[in-house]
Copies of this chain bind each other. A is one copy, B any other.
Amino acid sequence: MGTRREISTLPPEADLARADSLAREIFSDIANKWAFLIIEFLGQRTMRFSELRDEVGGISHKMLTQNLRLLERNGLISRTVYPTVPPRVEYTLTEAGDALRGVVDGMCGWTQRYLRQIEASRAEYDA
C-alpha cells in the first residue's frame, strides 16, 4: 500500500509527538482574528469568496486568500469550484473544521476575558 500506510502502524509515542507538533502549528496558525472569524462565518453556512469578504469585513483580498489557503491545507475547510463562467468558488467547513468551532469559541472567549491579567502577569514576571 506504499509508505504512507505505515503511518497507522507507528507506535503511540510517535503519534503523540506528531499530535504535539501538529497541535502547536495549527493552534498557532488559527489563533488570529481573521481565522477565528472565517471559521465562525463558515460555521453558519457555505459561502463564496466575495460573501465571506463582505461578512468578515475589513479584511484584504490577500489576507483572506492566505487564511483560506491555510485553513484548506489543514483540512478545516473545503473549496469547491463550479465550472460556470466566471467559475464560482465556494468554501465550506469540513467535519474537522466544524468540530473545531467549539474549541475556537473557547480560545477566543478565554483570551478576551483574561487579556489584561495575562499582560499584567508577563510585565511582573519580566520585571
- Chain B contacts for A32, CB-based, 8 A: 20, 23-24
A18 at the interface (CB under 8 A from B): yes
Q: Which of A23-59 contact B (CB under 8 A)?
A: 23-24, 26-28, 31-33
Q: Which applies to chain A's interface (DSSP): helix, strand, loop or mixed?
A: helix
The total of chain A residues at the interface (CB under 8 A) is 47
Per the bound structure, the CA–CA distance linking A96 and B115 in Å amounts to 10
Per the bound structure, the CA–CA distance linking A108 and B99 in Å amounts to 12
Q: Is the CB of B33 within 8 A of A111?
A: no
A125 at the interface (CB under 8 A from B): yes
A114 at the interface (CB under 8 A from B): yes
Q: Is the CB of A75 within 8 A of B24?
A: no
